[in-house]
Structure 1
Amino acid sequence: MSKKKHEEEHENHERWLVSYADFITLLFAFFVVMYSVSRVDNKKVQKAAASIKWAMHMSGTGGVGQMPIFDGPPDGTIADLGGGGIPPAQAAAEGIRRQIENRIRPFVIQKAGPAAVTITVEVDRVMVRLAAADFFDPGQSALRPQILPVLDAIAQEVVPLKRPLRVEGHTDDTPTVGRFRDNWELSASRAATVVSYLERAHGTSPGLLSATGYADTRPIVVGTSPEARDLNRRVEMVLELDLKPESKVRKEAPRYDPVPR
């Protein structure tokens, strides 16, 4: 029998189309992803980023000009704190800082942002810094209604302590426009507004409250950038925990000795 002759297999010159098609498919997928990213709602992304940024800061003790840093709720009551060589006043201040931060966290995330409130400890006092951009309209001293839950949460921790609370208003060096003649009046009015709200809405004893305006004389940072101005425009609530004898308010009227002739 004669053997059948096999036809020679011809070379496939179209195999490059497979690789080309794969490349086109990958390129198309890449552009689809890029288009999807460009369509993301920026406001939702910023809100999510703020929440993540807030949640990630969960260690340390905080500092001037920094975001609130959470350590979780304190163990025991404030009176139980103070072990490990830490002065009792500072231990109490740290405990109060944690309690305030834990209480205001959900309100700040919903109503403002992580930079709206900063809490720091200075040995025997706790300072709660309120960013003016979140609590007041530009050039105004009235509290924004939507931010009041944050101030209420702070008051719920601070007022029951019945300790002296000093409220200080600060501005930047931008000249005022409107009913306030200068930044002295604006800063003092904002501090007085916070004091009035604490007394009216939370029953704080007037004898424990004081309001002061410093205008632009005590900036956190020196500069004219928008970031610097935002930091300098603020109201600070200073809670005194362990007053030194010389700093206590005198309850009796001052006495003046007659000048000898």
Structure 2
Amino acid sequence: MDDKKQPIVIKKVVKGHAHHGGAWKVAYADFVTAMMAFFLLMWLLGSTTKPQRAGISDFFKHPSAIQGPGGASTSMIKLGGTQDMPTGPTQMHSIGGARAPTPEELEKAAQARDHQRMQTLEVELRKAIDRSQALRPFKDQLLIDITPEGLRIQIVDKENRPMFDLGSDILKSYAQTILEKIGDFLNHVPNKISITGHTDAHLFLNADMSNWELSTERANAARRALIAGDMDKTKVARIVGLGDTVLFDKKNPLAAVNRRISIIVLNKQTEAAMAKGDAYVSGATSKPAVSAPTPAAGGGAAVAHPEISAPPAGSAANPTVTPHT
């Protein structure tokens, strides 16, 4: 037996701290995001006016996409809310030493944004028409373009396919459907609208009736059809009858295309001018959406009582008295 003792080995185990994981990173990121949002809110409250803050609030309360005649839109149309908020180089307050923009620069930037909104609305409307089974067959009678007043939608007559009964303001069933579908689309746009009636140069055999009355009555009939399509009646800012003073096809005053209804989604500049009482004449200043002669400018408007307004000399320039169509 060996008397030597075996050496005693002491094993010392050092326990480390438990691993905390990455949960703290998520919490910290949330904290930083909340602080950024808080400071952004403080900046917005200090650099915007009360109407602008109301617009921002309304934008986040109603973020849904605009519904068109063919269903929900695939993108947002930024037409309201922050429309007057200066961005980029035209910020209202100086940041980092940059100078504050002049009122003229702010106005120019606001007009540029408004024009961009009209272009976006035009794209969305064309998509809605393509998606709508009710509107697609009549695409050749729907002309869309942008004018100095806003986005113009023209519904024109076609040979053997008129919008109204002969010499009256009674809409054909297909025209009623078109206007109702457009009314549903326009109800989701915050802008007000203008409706203008146009006729061709045929003369009435009845001396008590003229193209002034007919164009105004047809514009009002279009208003009723738009409202029947669930458009808010308060969106209508103006009803105008121009008779045959603004022909679409000046080379052929009797052409069917001259008989049309023009609906303009008014831009903010035009709305402001109308609020001040400034006069505008719809449909007389811009290039048509198809290759046709540009409508003549300068026609007088018969708005409230066209029967007491004599048309300019030569406005109904057809030398032969023919039944009105």
Partner of 1:126: 151
Q: Which structure shows the higher helix fraction?
A: 1
Contact 2:144 2:151 in 1 (8 A): yes
Instruction: Kindly report which structure 2 residues correspond to 1:54-69, keeping only aligned pairs within 5 A, or say none.
Output: none
Matched, 1:140 2:168: yes
Alpha-carbon distance, 1:162 to partner: 3.2
Per-residue Cα deviation, 1:212-234 (whole angstroms, up to 9, x for no partner): 111111112212376xx122111
Instruction: Say how many residue pairs are matched.
Output: 174
Mapped pair 1:151 → 2:176 = no
Partner of 1:171 in structure 2?
A: 199
TM-score, normalised via structure 2 length: 0.46
Does the Cα contact within 8 Å between 2:197 and 2:216 map onto a contact in 1? yes
Residue 115 of structure 1 and its aligned partner are, at CA, apart by 2.2
Deviates more, 1:184-193 or 1:154-163: 154-163
CA RMSD for the aligned pairs? 3.3
C-alpha separation between the residues in 1 aligned to 2:125 and 2:148?
Answer: 17
| Residue ranges of structure 2 left out of the alignment (5+ in a row) | 1-72, 89-108, 278-325
Alignment check: 8 A CA contact 1:195 1:210 kept: no
Query: Using the alignment, how far apart are the partners of 1:174 and 1:205 within structure 2?
Result: 32
Equivalent residues of 1:184, 1:215 under 8 A apart: yes
Residue 274 of structure 2: aligned partner: 248
**1:10-49 to 2 correspondences below 5 Å:** none
AA aligned to 1:108 is L
Equivalent position SS for 2:140: helix
Structure 1 residue 200: Cα displacement: 4.3
1:193 aligns with 2:218: no
Structure 1 vs Structure 2: percent identity of aligned residues? Answer: 16
Q: Distance in 1 between matches of 2:139 and 2:229?
A: 25
Provide the TM-score with structure 1 as the length reference. 0.57
Provide the rounded CA distance (Å) in 2 between the counterparts of 1:147 and 1:128: 14
* Cα distance in 1, alignment partners of residues 200 and 209 from structure 2: 15
Give runs of ≥4 in structure 1 deviating > 6 Å: 80-83
Q: Is the Cα contact below 8 Å between 1:89 and 1:124 reproduced in 2?
A: no
Q: Determine the structure 2 residue equivalent to 1:107.
A: 134
Q: Counterparts of 1:181 and 1:165 in 2: how far apart (Å)?
A: 27
Gaps of 5+ in 1: 1-72, 252-261
Equivalent position SS for 1:87 = helix
Q: Distance in 1 between matches of 2:269 and 2:253?
A: 37
